[in-house]
A and B are shown apart, each in its own frame.
Chain A
C-alpha cells in the first residue's frame, strides 16, 4: 500500500471517530491465541511463597525413592494392552490376592480395571509415592466380585467393543480376524461358561463408572478396604525395578 492511501485512511479514521462517538457499540474484531505457561515465565513471588508451606509438607511425604523405572511406562504403547495397564493390573493382583484369600479363603481369578483410571505415565528413573499419586490420584478401593460365566462374557464383550487397552491381569484373550474372542484363558485354563469367577476391580467401576453395567450382575462383592494407589505404593516398596512390557494377554491373531 502506498503512502497516499495510508494518509487517506488515517484521515478517514479520525473523521470516523469524531462523527460517531454516541453510537451504540458492536463487536468488530476478535483475535485468539494460546499462551504457553513456559519455564521462561517469571515466578510470581507472592503466589510462590503462599504455596511453599503446602509444597514442603507434600514433598517431605512424597519424594523418597521407592523403585526405579527401567523405561518410560505408558498406557498408550499398545493397542490391546499397555505397559502401564499391565503394571497396574498385575500389582492389584499381587497385592490384593493375599488379603482376599485371608478373608474369604478364595483366590482372585483375574483383574479388570479401566483405561481412564491411569492418569499419568511413569517416566524413566526414580519412582516415588508421588508417582503413585500421579498415576492413580483417585481414592478408589479394590473390590472383588463374583461373576458367573455369562457375565464374564459380557465383560469380555465390553472390553472388545471399547477398543481400549483396559488394564487386565490373570485373563488372556485372543481375537480372531472379525474381532471375536477365539481363546479366553483364565489363570492359564480355558474359560468355562458354567463356572463362577472372582474378579478384582475398583469400587468406582463396580458402582457404574465407565458404564460397566455388567458389574451390576455381581453375585457377591468384597471390598478389601485397600486403595489401588496404596497397593501400588506397597508394591513399589517391595521391588527394585519396574519394567512392565506390552505382552500377549490381549491381542489380535494374524
Chain B
C-alpha cells in the first residue's frame, strides 16, 4: 500500500511538472476520461461579428465563427458539452425582426446541449418565448423558476443528466429574481424561488442520489454584487458542496480566466463567465481517473 501511495504521488507530481507527453499517453487509455465543457452567456442576439469600426470589439464574435471553433474542439474531443447561461435574446435587430427564431435555430445547429433562462429571454413575454420553443433542439434548465402555471409548463426542466463516455454529468439551471427586472405582464405567473436553497437541493439530488460524476450549474444570477442580499455566483459557490463548476451570466463579467473559489466544504471549485455578445467561448476541461490514482479528494486545477 505504501508503494501505491508513492506511485500516485510520483505520477501526479510528474504531470504537475509539465510532462505533457505522459498526460496524452494516459489520456488515450480507457482509465482516463476527458470531458470538455464549452459555454457562452449573454449573447443577446449577436449573430454577426461586430463591425470593423466598432469602438470596443472590432471584428469579434459571430455565430459562423463560433461554429467552426466549436466544431474543431468537438473533432479534437468528441466528449464535449456546449451550454449557455441565458439572455440569448435581445440586443440586435435580429431579435426585433424575428423574435428569437434565428438564435434558437443556430444554437440547435451548433448542437448546444442546454441553456438556462435569463431575464431578457422574457422580453417578448412568456408567450413570445413559447413561440420560439419549436426551434430549440436543446434543453432549457431552470430549477428556481416555476413555470407550472404558465404556457411554458413542461418546456423547462430543473436539471438534466448527460451521459458522456460513461460519465454522468448533472447540470442544473438558476435564474435571477424577476422583480424589478422583468415586467409582470411579461413573466406572468412565473414564480421565482431562492436560488441558494434550490441549488443545495439540486446538487444533493444530482451528486448524492443520482451519483453523478460531475455537477455543473448554469446560472443567470450574476457574478458578484456588493449588496449581500442579492444572490450571486460567488455566494452560490460558498454555499454549495457538490457543484464543481458554475457557468455564470447576467453581469456581463469578462473573466480573463475562471475564478477558483472555496465551496461550502473548503474545496476549490470554478466560477466562470465570458462577458457577453459571443465575443468569447469559455472552455473547461475535466479529466477523470481511477480513484486510487488520484491520491487526494481534490482535483488539481490549472488555469491559463
Contact = CB atoms under 8 A, between A and B. Distances in A.
Interface of A: 1, 6, 8-10, 12-13, 15-17, 20-21, 23-39, 41-48, 50-51, 54-55, 57-58, 61-62, 72, 119, 121, 123-125, 130, 133-134, 137-139, 204, 207-211
A175 B97 CA distance: 43
17 contacts: A6-B19, A8-B10, A24-B290, A25-B33, A28-B299, A29-B287, A30-B286, A31-B304, A32-B282, A35-B280, A35-B281, A37-B49, A54-B102, A58-B97, A137-B91, A138-B123, A139-B96
B208 interface: no
* Interface of B, helix, strand, loop or mixed by DSSP: mixed
Interface string B251-295: 000011110000000000010101000111111111111111110
A167 to B, nearest CB: 18
B181 interface: yes
Contact of A1 (B17, B64, B185, B283): B17
Interface of B: 7-8, 10-12, 14-15, 17, 19, 22, 25-26, 29-33, 44-45, 47-49, 53-56, 59-69, 71, 90-98, 102, 105-106, 109-110, 123, 167, 179-181, 183-185, 213-214, 244, 255-258, 270, 272, 274, 278-294, 299-304
B177 to A, nearest CB: 11
Contact of A37 (B60, B71, B214, B285): B60
Contact of B65 (A23, A42, A211): A42
Contact of A32 (B10, B29, B257): B257
A122 to B, nearest CB: 9
Contacts of B29: 17
A21 B291 CA distance: 10
A43 B68 contact: yes
Given A16-B8, A133-B93, 5 more contacts: A1-B19, A31-B304, A32-B283, A134-B91, A137-B95
Contacts of B256: 34
A30 B285 contact: yes
A46 B237 CA distance: 39
Contact of A20 (B14, B33, B94, B292): B292
A51 B106 contact: yes
A123 B22 CA distance: 50
